[in-house]
Chain A
Amino acid sequence: MRVLIADDDVVLRHSLKVHLERWSYRVDECGDGREAWKAMHGPKAPAMAVIDWNMPGMDGPTICQELREVPALAAMYVILLTSNNEQKDVVAGLESGADDYIVKPFDWNELRARLRIGARIVGLQQALAARVSELQVALANVRTLSGLLPICAYCKRVRDDKDYWQQIEQYVGDHSQAEFSHGICPECLDAQLAAGR
């Protein structure tokens, strides 16, 4: 899982990078709030971010606030790093949109556990998003089947949205999970026998 680290303190940033890589995260790092904001966009956007409260360019809470206004980034899990004397501002930090915070100097095992919580939540959200898009596809198929369907009164073929006439079983098969097994009903059987076929 990709994690962005943003802290202007080179010492802590390096320490964070080394620890997170040992815990098998893929790490991107930057030392400036504006750089962090840019790194959160695009195809390599991280799933989680550990960002410092005080940074040049853009501070942590401002990043969180702007992040939550972008629908594509709203699910990113953000942990704010705060100093002791900012602890009273923690409520403001969380209200800005951070998911969690940790006070410096922190215990590395605690950070590891908090990251694991974040990774679990991100995993659940991704699974949920995948399920929702599956359901959307299924719903679109159901809608196709529940709309008005032109059908030939004689041969019973139906006209699809590309103006092709096709067998009804093929149309239903293409737009749903249904599969057809061909058989013969008793009335048709009698009729076929009577016709001597």
Chain B
Amino acid sequence: MLDRLGGDEELARQLVELFVAECPRMMAAVRDSVASGDVEQIRRAAHAFKGSVGNFTDGAPMTTAFELEQIGRVGSIADAHDVLRRLEQEVDGFVAALRRYEEGKS
């Protein structure tokens, strides 16, 4: 992760803090969009989350957010709830790992 952030631990810590604080709002927007069934809203919310989490990883949960974004793009929302559930689990694990990283640094 440090590589992607320019190898700067102080900056990495600031970015983790920003992401952890912003994550609940972004995930709420993703949840709301799936609940609404509005494909454009799903695409936008999933895209925004994918971009932000993509600052830290190119694996899950970024790939799952991308899957959800594609669902919004293609317009077939049958799987949206399942993908969202998977995304929530991955995000929980990811945020927990980021918190451990933050604690390890402070």
Report which A residues bind B (CB closer than 8 A). 8-12, 14-15, 18-19, 54, 83, 85, 104-105, 108
Contact = CB atoms under 8 A, between A and B. Distances in A.
A14 B6 contact: no
A105 B18 contact: no
Interface in B16-63: 18-19, 22, 44, 47-48, 50-52, 54-55, 58
A12 B55 contact: yes
A105 B11 contact: no
A15 B5 contact: yes
A9 B47 contact: no
B88 to A, nearest CB: 20
Nearest to B43: A54
A15 B15 contact: yes
Contact of B11 (A9, A15, A54, A83): A15
Nearest to A13: B18
Contacts, number: 46
B89 interface: no
Contact of A19 (B4, B6, B19, B22): B6
5 contacts: A10-B18, A11-B15, A14-B15, A54-B44, A54-B48
Interface of B: 4-6, 11, 14-15, 18-19, 22, 44, 47-48, 50-52, 54-55, 58, 66, 69
Contacts of A18: 11, 14
Nearest to B25: A10
Contacts of B51: 9, 12, 54, 83, 104
Contacts of B66: 85
A15 B47 CA distance: 19
Given A18-B11, A83-B47, A105-B58, A12 B4 contact: no
A193 B11 CA distance: 89
Contacts of B47: 54, 83
A87 to B, nearest CB: 14
Given A11-B15, A15-B15, A18-B11, A105 B55 contact: yes
Nearest to A15: B15
A76 to B, nearest CB: 24
Contacts of B48: 8-9, 54
B11 A11 contact: no
A108 B6 CA distance: 7
A104 B58 CA distance: 11
B58 A11 contact: no
Contacts of B11: 15, 18
Contacts of B18: 10-11, 14
B20 to A, nearest CB: 10
A104 B22 contact: no
